[in-house]
Amino acid sequence: MSTDFIFVGAGPSGLTGAICAARQGRRCLVIEKKPSLALHPRGETLRFRPILDEILGDGVLDSLSLSRTTLIEYFAPVPDKASRISFNMHSANIAFHWNGFMQAFQKQVDSLNIDLMMNTEVIDTVKDGDRVAGVVFRDADGKETSITADVVFASDGHNSIIGRKAGVDYQSMTNPIIKGLYHQATFDTPGYKFFIIPAGSLDFAPAFPPAIAFLFPRDNRNCEAGVCVMAGSARKLGYAIPSPEALLRVWELLAEQYPVFSDILKDATPEVVEPTLIPATAPLKDFIPQAGVVLLGDTASFIEISGFCGLVSSMECAKYWVNMIIEAQKRSEKPEDIWHEQTMRKMNEAFRMAPVYRYIKTNADRYMAMFETLFVEMRTSEEIIKNWEIVREALDVY
C-alpha cells in the first residue's frame, strides 16, 4: 500500500494538513486511533484568525460560537474580589463545542474524499535507510498493516509516537492539566479567569507545585475549568510533578475550597473532568526531526501558552508545512529528493522566519518569562501580592 501523504492523528493539525494537501490534488491518508473525532475534547476556546474560514468554510466558526468576550481576569494568590486584574484583549475569545468543531472538519474531509481511518493506531514507522518512508498501523481487529508515503506528517499530538521515534524529548515539555466542563456555574462576569497558585501555597496540598487554575464562562451557566501545573517552574524549585490521580484529588479540593473559584463552582455539575497533558513550552527549533517526517501541532510543542491559540496556530503551521513540502516537491525531480540534508535545513530555516513561527515563539518566550518571574523569582504568595502592580505590567500581553 502506498499514498502521497500520511497524517498520523486526526486532530485539528492533521485534518488541516490533509485538507490543504487534498485541495492541491495530493492523495492523503489520515489515521486516527480513537473511534470518533468527538471524543476527548481538548481546547474549546479560540480567537478568530482567517485560517478558520479558509479550512472550515466561511462563517462556520461563527456559527459554532457559544459565547465571546474580550475580558480576561487574573486573580492574586489567596484571591478576593479586590485583587482582580482585568484586561480587554484586542480580539474576542470564542467558546465552542469540540464536537461541532470536529464535525466541521469532517465535512471538509468527506467532500474532498480524504481517506480517514478511525479506530486505527499507528504503532511504528517504516524506514528506507535513514528516511521514514511510511507507518505500521493496527486496526480495530488487531491486524497490522504497513503503508508507505512520500511524507509522514506527525499530527498525533503531545507525546507523539512518530516524534519520539525521531528523538523528540516530550518528557521535558509535559505539563499536567485538568480539563473540565461544568454546568450551573455562578460567575459574576463573562471574563476568562486565571488564578495564580504559587508552589506550596495550598493548605490542603502543601507539596503542590506552582499552577494556574482557569475558568472560562460559556453560554448560559456553563464553563470550562481546570488547573495546569507549571512543570518547568516546578522542576526549577524542586517540586515533584503530581500523577494524574494526585492532580485530580487536588482539583476536587480546589473546586470545593479555593476562594472565588469555589464560589463559582459550588452549585455546578461536571460533564467532563479529565486529567491530561499539554506541551506548554516554546516550539521546537526543527519541525523536520528526521528525513521523511514533519511535525505538526502539539507534536512540535507549539504553544502560545495563553492556551487560547494552540488550535489556530496548529492549523496555520499545518498549512504552512504542507504548502512548503508541495512547493519543494515541485522543484525536485523525485519526491524523495526533498529529504536531502540541505533542503531539510532550508525548510526548517524558512519556517523559523515565517510569521506563524515567530508569533508562537514570541508569545511562548513572553509567557515563559512571565511564569519564571511569578513562580520562581517572586515564588511566594506574599511576594506576588506585594508586587501585584509589577505583575500587572508583566501580565499585560494582550
How far, in Å, CA of 364 to CA of 280, rounded? 8
Nearer to ligand FAD, 218 or 379 (CB): 218
Q: Choose which of 72, 79, 307, 320 interacts with ligand FAD (CB under 6 A).
A: 307
Compute the distance between CA of residue 393 and CA of residue 276 in angstroms, rounded to an integer: 31
Distance in angstroms (rounded) separating the CA atoms of residues 397 and 365: 12
Label each residue of 107-169 as H, E or C.
HHHHHCCCEEECCCEEEEEEEECCEEEEEEEECCCCCEEEEEEEEEEECCCCCCHHHHHCCCC
Q: How far is the CB of 22 from ligand FAD (least distance, A)?
A: 17
Nearest C-alpha neighbor of 166 from the set 180, 177, 156? 156
Q: Which three cell numbers stand for residue 176?
A: 499536567
Choose, by CB under 6 A, the member of 153, 308, 320, 375 that binds ligand FAD: 308
134 binds ligand FAD (CB under 6 A): no
Instruction: Let me know: does 3 contact 113? Beta carbons within 8 Å.
Output: no
Candidate list 61, 72, 104, 121; residue touching ligand FAD; CB under 6 A = 121
32 versus 73: smaller Cβ distance to ligand FAD: 32
Q: Which stretch binds ligand FAD (CB under 6 A): 5-13, 124-132, 188-196, 328-336?
A: 5-13
- Taking the least distance from each CB to ligand FAD, the nearer of 95 and 199 is 95
Q: Segment 84-103, which members bind ligand FAD (CB under 6 A)?
A: none
Q: Which of 34, 97, 165, 221 binds ligand FAD (CB under 6 A)?
A: 34
Least gap, CB of 248 to ligand FAD (angstroms): 13
Per residue, the 3-state secondary structure of 145-157, as one string, reads EEEEEEEEEECCC
> Which CB atom, from 155 or from 174, has the smaller least distance to ligand FAD?
155
Q: Does 11 bind ligand FAD (CB under 6 A)?
A: yes
Q: How far is the CB of 330 from ligand FAD (least distance, A)?
A: 26
Round to whole Å and give the CA distance between 9 and 120: 10
Residue (93 or 348) nearer to ligand FAD, CB: 93
Q: What is the closest distance, in whole angstroms, from the C-beta atom of residue 382 to ligand FAD in the complex?
A: 30
Q: Are 309 and 45 in contact (CB under 8 A)?
A: no
Binding mask 164-183 for ligand FAD (x = CB under 6 A): -------------x-x----
Q: Which of 371, 356, 153 is nearest to 280 (CA)?
A: 371
> Site size for ligand FAD, by CB under 6 A?
37
3-state secondary structure of 284: coil
In the list 29, 45, 109, 194, the residue contacting ligand FAD (rule: CB under 6 A) is 45
Please give the residues from 208 up to 227 whose contact with ligand FAD meets the rule CB under 6 A: 226
Q: What angle do CA 256, 395, 208 make, to 5 degrees?
A: 35
Number of helices (H), then strands (E), belonging to the chain: the values are 13, 15
CA atoms within a 13 Å half-sphere pointing along the CA-CB vector of 270: 12
Stretch of 199-207, 253-261, 290-298, 385-393 lying at the interface with ligand FAD (CB under 6 A): 290-298
According to the binding rule CB under 6 A, does residue 356 interact with ligand FAD? no
Q: Does 310 bind ligand FAD (CB under 6 A)?
A: yes
Alpha carbons 142 and 84: distance in angstroms, whole number? 53
- CB of residue 95 to ligand FAD, shortest distance in Å: 9
Residue 212 CB, nearest approach to ligand FAD (Å): 12
* Stretch of residues binding ligand FAD (CB under 6 A), selected from 126-134, 304-312, 326-334, 382-390: 304-312
Q: Is there binding between residue 314 and ligand FAD (CB under 6 A)? A: yes
**Residue 153 or 208: which CB sits closer to ligand FAD?**
153
Do the beta carbons of residue 272 and residue 181 sit within 8 Å? yes
Q: Is residue 193 within 8 Å of residue 224, measured between CB atoms?
A: no
The helix/strand/coil state of 283 is: coil
Site map (CB under 6 A) of ligand FAD, residues 269-288, x = contact: -------x-x----------
Q: Which of 245, 226, 254 minimizes the C-alpha distance to 44?
A: 226
| Positions that interact with ligand FAD (CB under 6 A) | 8-14, 31-34, 42-46, 121-122, 155-157, 161, 177, 179, 226, 276, 278, 296-298, 302, 307-311, 314
